[in-house]
């Protein structure tokens, strides 16, 4: 599919856009996601150096409302006109960031210059919880932009094309956001791999292979170890992969881990699932530690929690495991059928290592209809 708005669509409609005032509102909601196979290292325009796979979350999401009104005939159509509100307050910092992003889209999405935009966005999770919101927020913005295009230019009628384009635009804002446009799909992949048909580096897709019942409604409890802003951004982290001596080995490992995970997901093999998922988390942080310059995003509490999870798993024979994002917080993953035992363990043994005792209960979406 062609992700640029074609001259044909555009010129057919812009004559109308200039003459007849159009206004309206579009609203979208996008979940956060947690990668099991990590994207770390990129090239070109936000293209991943390896395929990634993520679980979609349910309770952590961003909701965005976009109001648009076509500009008057005498107003410039080559500039972005934007007001951005976050959690009911005008937010200059986010406005600048989104303005820049929309400006970068103008050459391929020229309709963005024909409207005044007011965007209102809010997260379901606390702002100071140290949870990355770029994935859910860029995904929901991208969905709103696709709806805007649909309303203004009568394009993107086809549902699959609509979501592919939303994922494509979200990716340009933040790589992991490409995987957050599919709300009710439990697993998403992004990046070309021969292991899964129809995958692309340009956009993410709903996971199309069999998933065993044990992974239905899988639980993710997010332990807040630190609420501080990360000392090294993921943008800087990705860039450091360019000189990381283990980069090539890492990209190969991602492919073989993905293959193992696909089989484990199908067979319900929680042992292999745990091996792969924890390996991916350790490798991500090991790559940070052997970058030049090196950096550490884990905190003491992160390691204490990891060791306690591994011990609890061994002592109780419960398939609980952890994964990490680019930060200190720990995602604790376990099957729904062990929910009571695991939540009890988290409350008694892990909560003391959380920042202000904070943790968030989340899970994969139950419904798989988009």
How many angstroms separate the Cα of 322 from the Cα of each of 224, 282, 284? 13, 10, 13
Least distance between ligand PMV and beta carbon 255 (Å): 14
Q: How far is the CB of 75 from ligand PMV (least distance, A)?
A: 34
Angle at 93 between CA 131 and CA 225, to 5 degrees: 20
Q: Which of residues 295-354 bind ligand PMV (CB under 6 A)?
A: 325-326
Q: 293: cis peptide before it, omega within 30°? A: yes
User: At its nearest, how many Å lie between ligand PMV and the CB of residue 14?
Assistant: 33
Q: Which stretch binds ligand PMV (CB under 6 A): 33-41, 195-203, 210-218, 259-267?
A: 33-41
Tell the residue number behind the tokens 């062990």, with chain if given.
338
Candidates 31, 130, 175, 301; binder of ligand PMV (CB under 6 A) is: 175
129 touches ligand PMV (CB under 6 A) = no
* Binding pattern for the stretch 41-80 against ligand PMV, x by CB under 6 A and - elsewhere: -----------x----------------------------
DSSP 32-68: EEEEEE----EETTTEESS-EEEEEEEEEEEEEEEEE
DSSP letter string, 331-352: EEEE-GGGHHHHHHHIIIIIGG
Among 123, 136, 164, 176, binds ligand PMV (CB under 6 A): 176
Write the interaction track for ligand PMV spanning residues 73-112; mark x where CB under 6 A is met and - where it is not: ----------------------------------------
Residue 244 engages ligand PMV in binding (rule: CB under 6 A)? no
Q: Are 118 and 102 in contact (CB under 8 A)?
A: no
Residues near ligand PMV (CB under 6 A) are 35, 38-40, 52, 134, 174-176, 234, 238, 284, 325-326
């Amino acid at each position: 599919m062609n992700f640029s708005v074609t001259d044909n669509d555009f010129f057919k409609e812009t004559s109308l856009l200039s003459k007849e005032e159009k206004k309206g509102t579009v609203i979208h909601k996008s979940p956060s996601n947690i990668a099991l196979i990590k994207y770390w290292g990129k090239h070109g325009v936000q293209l991943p150096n390896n395929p990634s796979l993520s679980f979609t979350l349910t309770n952590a999401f961003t909701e965005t409302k976009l109001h648009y009104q076509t500009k008057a005939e005498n107003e410039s159509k080559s500039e972005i006109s934007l007001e951005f509100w976050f959690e009911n307050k005008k937010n200059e910092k986010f406005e600048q960031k989104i303005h820049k992003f929309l400006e970068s889209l103008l050459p391929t999405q020229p309709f963005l210059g024909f409207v005044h935009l007011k965007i209102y966005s809010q997260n379901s999770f606390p702002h100071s919880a140290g949870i990355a919101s770029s994935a859910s927020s860029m995904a929901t913005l991208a969905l709103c932009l696709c709806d805007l295009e649909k309303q203004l230019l009568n394009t993107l009628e086809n549902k699959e094309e609509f979501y592919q384009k939303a994922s494509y635009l979200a990716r340009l804002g933040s790589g992991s956001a490409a995987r957050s446009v599919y709300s009710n799909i439990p697993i998403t992949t992004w990046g070309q791999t021969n292991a899964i048909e129809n995958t692309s580096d340009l956009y993410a897709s709903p996971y199309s292979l069999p998933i065993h019942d044990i992974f239905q409604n899988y639980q993710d409890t997010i332990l807040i170890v630190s609420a501080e802003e990360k000392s090294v951004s993921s943008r800087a982290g990705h860039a450091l992969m360019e000189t990381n001596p283990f980069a090539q080995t890492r990209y190969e490992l991602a492919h073989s881990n993905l293959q193992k995970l696909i089989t484990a997901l199908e067979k319900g093999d929680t042992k292999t699932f745990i091996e792969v998922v924890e390996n991916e988390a350790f490798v991500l942080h090991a790559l940070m530690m052997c970058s030049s310059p090196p950096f550490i995003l884990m905190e003491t509490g992160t390691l204490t929690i990891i060791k306690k999870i591994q011990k609890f798993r061994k002592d109780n024979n419960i398939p609980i495991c952890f994964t990490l994002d680019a930060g200190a917080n720990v995602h604790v993953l376990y099957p729904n059928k062990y929910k009571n035992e695991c939540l009890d363990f988290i409350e008694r043994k892990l909560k003391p290592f959380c920042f202000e005792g904070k943790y968030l209960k989340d899970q994969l979406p139950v419904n798989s209809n988009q």
